[in-house]
C-alpha cells in the first residue's frame, strides 16, 4: 500500500482508497475502532435487560440497560470460548446474559455470574475473581441528547469534543419537540450498498447530483403538483419533498455547505417544510408555548437539511431521519435508516416526517435506488484500470476558510469531499 500522502492530494484522491483491502483494514483500525461511533438511541432500551446488538468497525457489541438503569456497551463475546453471547438483534435478556454454548452467565454489567462445574477450573486462571472471566466493556460510553455513542479506545477527545459543531444535528432534532425529546420508531430500514462507505458520505452534501440523478422522480412529482394546483387543490407536502430534487443547477448552486474539522458538515436548507395549515399552526403554537415565541422561532428557523457526523452518520434533523453506516468490506456497506418521533406532537406532524422516511430514504424508493445504482457503478468504475484518480476539482481554490471551517461560495462545490478527505488523511496517518 502506498503512503497516505501519496493517495490524497488537495484536489484529487487515488482510486485505491475506495477499493484496496489493506486500506479498508487500516480504516477499521485507525478510524472506526478509535473514534466515537453511534450505537443507538436510549429509547431502544428503556427497561433493565433491554439490549440491542451493534457493530463497531470489526467488533460485535451489545448495548444493554442495566439493573441500575445505566447503559453499557459490551463486546458480544463469551470469555470462555469466544462464542457470541447474543444472537438476536434486539430483545430483553432478563437479569443475566447466558452463553448458549456452555451456559456461562453474566450480570448485565458484564461481570461473570456463574461458571458451570467450577471445580473443573481448580488450579487454573479461569476463576470468578479474574477479570478475564467477565465480558469486556467498551472503553468509553457516552450520550448526547439521548443518542448513545461508544469508543473502543480510552484515549482521545470527549464525545462533545468529537462532535464539535455537528452536535447541532441532535439539538435541531430534539429542539423541534415541545418536550425537547425524541423517541425511536422501532422499524429500521437496512440496505446493503455494493460500494465503499465513502460514496455515501460524499453524496449526502453533494448539491450537484440531485437534479441529474433524481430528475425523473422530481419532474414527475412536479407535474402532479402543478396539476393539483391548477385544479385548486393544495398538493400534499410529500409531492414537494420529491419535486425539489428537480430544481435547476442555479438553485442547487445557491444551497450552501459548511465543512467542519474532523470531516463533519452541514448542507443548508433548500425546501420549505412549514405550510400554513391548521396542523402546522397547532404545532407552532405548542412550540411557542413551550419555549416562548423568540426561542421557538429560532429552533424552527434553522437553515439545515443534512448534518454529517464523519465518517458514518447522516442526520436530516428537520425530518427526524438518521442514517448510519456499518462498513463490511471495501465494496460492501450496511446502511441503517432510522426515523424518530418528536415527543409531544400530533399524529399529523409525525406522519409528515414519516412520509419522507418512506418516500425518500427507504429501500424501495426511486430516490434511494437512484443513489445506490450510481454508487455501485462508481465502485465498478474505480475497480477498473481506466484511470487512477478521482477528481474533486470543482470550485477548488474558491472556498472561504475561517477558523478551520470551510464555507463553500457555491453549493455545488466539491469542498465537501476535499474536507472529508483532509480528515480521512489525518485519521489514517495516526
pLDDT of residue 1: 66
C-alpha count within 13 angstroms, C-beta hemisphere, residue 2: 12
Q: What is the pLDDT of residue 7?
A: 95
What pLDDT, on a 0 to 100 scale, did the predictor assign at position 270?
Answer: 84
Q: How far apart (Å, rounded) are the C-alpha atoms in residues 189 and 264? A: 24
Q: Where in the chain is the domain with CATH 3.90.380.10?
A: 165-429
Q: 230: which residues sit within 8 A by CB, 6+ positions away?
A: none
Q: Which class would CATH give 165-429?
A: alpha beta
Distance (Å, whole) CA 214 – CA 247: 10
Q: What is the pLDDT of residue 269?
A: 87
**Residues 6 or more apart whose Cβ sits within 8 Å of residue 295:** none
CA dihedral over 78, 311, 151, 324, signed as positive or negative:
negative
**CATH 2.102.10.10 location in the chain:** 37-151
In whole angstroms, what separates CA 429 from the centre of its chain?
24
Alpha carbon 339 to chain centroid, angstroms: 11
Contacts of 6 by beta carbon, 8 Å cutoff, 6+ apart: 14
Q: How many CA atoms lie within 13 A of 406 on its CB side?
A: 25
Q: Give me the residues paired with residue 316 across strands.
A: 321
How far is it, in rounded angstroms, from Cα 389 to Cα 426? 20
Coil/strand/helix, residue 199: helix
pLDDT of residue 271: 81
Class of domain 37-151: mainly beta
- The reported pLDDT for the residue numbered 399 is 87
Give me 337's grid cell.
435508516
- pLDDT for 3: 85
The region that residue 180 occupies, defined by phi over 0 for left and psi between -120 and 50 for alpha, beta otherwise, is left
Q: Which residue has the cell 405550510?
A: 275
Contact 406, 419 (CB under 8 A): yes
Q: Which three cell numbers stand for residue 17?
A: 482508497
Which stretches in the chain have pLDDT values below 50? none
- For the record, the C-alpha cell of 131 comes out as 477479570
Give the burial class of 185: count Cβ atoms within 10 A of its Cβ; 0-12 exposed, 13-18 middle, 19 or more buried.
middle
How far, in Å, CA of 99 to CA of 427, rounded? 36
Amino acid at each position: 500500500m502506498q503512503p497516505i500522502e501519496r493517495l490524497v492530494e488537495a484536489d484529487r484522491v487515488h482510486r485505491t482508497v475506495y477499493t484496496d483491502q489493506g486500506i479498508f483494514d487500516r480504516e477499521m483500525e485507525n478510524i472506526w475502532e478509535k473514534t466515537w461511533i453511534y450505537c443507538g438511541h436510549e429509547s431502544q432500551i428503556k427497561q433493565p435487560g433491554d439490549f440491542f446488538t451493534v457493530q463497531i468497525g470489526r467488533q460485535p457489541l451489545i448495548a444493554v440497560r442495566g439493573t441500575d438503569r445505566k447503559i453499557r456497551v459490551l463486546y458480544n463475546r463469551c470469555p470462555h470460548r469466544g462464542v457470541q453471547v447474543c444472537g438476536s438483534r434486539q430483545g430483553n435478556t432478563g437479569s443475566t446474559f447466558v452463553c448458549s454454548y456452555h451456559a456461562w452467565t453474566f450480570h448485565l454489567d458484564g461481570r461473570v455470574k456463574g461458571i458451570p462445574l467450577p471445580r473443573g477450573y481448580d488450579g487454573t486462571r479461569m476463576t470468578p475473581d479474574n477479570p478475564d472471566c467477565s465480558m469486556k466493556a467498551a472503553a468509553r460510553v457516552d450520550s448526547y441528547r439521548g443518542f448513545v455513542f461508544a469508543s473502543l479506545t480510552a484515549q482521545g477527545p470527549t464525545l462533545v469534543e468529537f462532535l464539535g459543531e455537528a452536535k447541532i444535528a441532535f439539538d435541531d432534532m430534539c429542539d423541534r419537540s415541545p418536550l425537547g425529546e425524541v423517541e425511536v420508531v422501532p422499524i429500521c430500514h437496512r440496505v446493503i450498498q455494493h460500494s465503499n462507505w465513502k460514496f455515501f458520505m460524499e453524496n449526502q452534501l453533494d448539491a450537484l447530483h440531485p437534479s441529474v440523478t433524481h430528475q425523473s422522480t422530481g419532474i414527475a412529482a412536479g407535474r402532479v403538483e402543478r396539476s393539483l394546483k391548477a385544479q385548486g387543490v393544495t398538493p400534499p407536502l410529500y409531492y414537494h419533498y420529491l419535486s425539489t430534487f428537480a430544481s435547476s443547477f442555479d438553485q442547487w448552486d445557491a444551497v450552501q455547505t459548511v465543512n467542519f474539522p474532523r470531516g463533519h458538515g452541514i448542507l443548508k436548507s433548500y425546501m420549505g417544510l412549514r405550510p400554513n395549515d391548521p396542523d402546522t399552526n397547532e404545532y407552532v403554537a405548542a412550540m411557542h408555548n413551550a419555549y416562548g415565541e423568540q426561542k421557538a422561532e429560532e429552533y424552527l428557523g434553522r437553515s439545515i437539511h443534512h448534518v454529517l457526523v464523519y465518517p458514518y452518520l447522516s442526520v436530516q434533523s428537520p425530518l427526524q431521519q438518521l442514517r448510519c453506516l456499518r462498513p463490511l468490506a471495501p465494496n460492501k456497506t450496511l446502511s441503517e435508516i432510522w426515523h424518530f418521533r418528536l415527543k409531544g406532537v400530533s399524529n399529523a406532524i409525525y406522519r409528515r416526517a414519516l412520509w419522507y422516511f418512506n418516500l425518500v430514504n427507504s429501500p424501495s424508493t426511486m430516490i434511494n435506488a437512484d443513489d445506490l445504482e450510481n454508487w455501485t457503478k462508481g465502485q465498478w468504475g474505480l475497480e477498473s484500470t481506466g484511470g487512477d484518480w478521482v477528481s474533486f476539482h470543482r470550485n477548488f481554490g474558491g472556498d472561504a476558510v475561517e477558523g478551520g471551517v470551510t464555507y463553500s461560495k457555491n453549493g455545488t462545490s466539491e469542498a465537501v469531499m476535499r474536507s472529508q478527505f483532509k480528515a480521512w488523511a489525518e485519521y489514517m496517518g495516526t
